[in-house]
Amino acid sequence: MQISNVQLINLPKVFDERGNLSFLEANKHIPFEIKRSYWIYDVPGGEQRGGHAYITTEEFIVALSGSFDVLIDDGRNKQRISLNRSYYGLYIPKGIWRSMENFSTNSLAFIVASTVYSEHDYQRDYSQFLMLNNASQES
């Protein structure tokens, strides 16, 4: 997998003077079936989350509140993407190393995932990730 497969996706935004509304539907606004959602909050200043890849899980990450950076890495190229609006998000396919940092005070990261939680789907060893991913990109 390559970071060119990572995609910023704009979500629908329904403007309303009572307050705006955005939404997402599986297989329509994001390219997978949703099996799980989770959120990251109360992140102390300077902390980093993530720091792993998934073997099969696809995710879509939205900054529902505040801002943070997502660092993506396919083993060859790296990119930093800042998320700071609730009406777009970042689609990350399987096989991409990611971490999240620079969380603003009271930021809220909302993530939908294509799988239920399983520790077996994590690649937490960066050198192993590099070996597997570079091998698969060469073949």
Name the residues annotated as catalytic: 52
Q: In the bound complex, what is the minimum distance in angstroms from residue 107's beta carbon to ligand TYD?
A: 13
User: Does 93 engage in binding with ligand TYD (CB under 6 A)?
Assistant: no
Q: How many residues bind ligand TYD (CB under 6 A)?
A: 7
126 lines the binding site for ligand TYD (CB under 6 A): no
Residues 15-54 that bind ligand TYD (CB under 6 A): 36, 38, 40, 49-50, 52
Minimum CB distance to ligand TYD smaller for 17 or for 42: 42
Of 68, 85, 123, 67, the closest CA to residue 9 belongs to: 85
SS3 content of the chain, % helix, strand, coil (to 5): 15, 40, 45
User: What does each C-alpha distance from 36 to 19, 26, 57, 118, 138 come to in angstroms?
Assistant: 27, 11, 10, 11, 32
Does 75 interact with ligand TYD (rule: CB under 6 A)? no
* Nearer of residues 40 and 64 to ligand TYD, judged by Cβ: 40
Can you read off the two tokens belonging to residue 26? 């599986």
Binder among 117, 128, 136, 137 for ligand TYD (CB under 6 A)? 117
Q: For the chain, what is the total number of helices (H) and then of strands (E)?
A: 1, 12
Nearest distance, CB of residue 77 and ligand TYD, angstroms: 21
Query: Cβ distance 7 to 88 under 8 Å?
Result: no
Residue keyed to tokens 């091998």: 135
**Interacting residues toward ligand TYD by CB under 6 A:** 36, 38, 40, 49-50, 52, 117
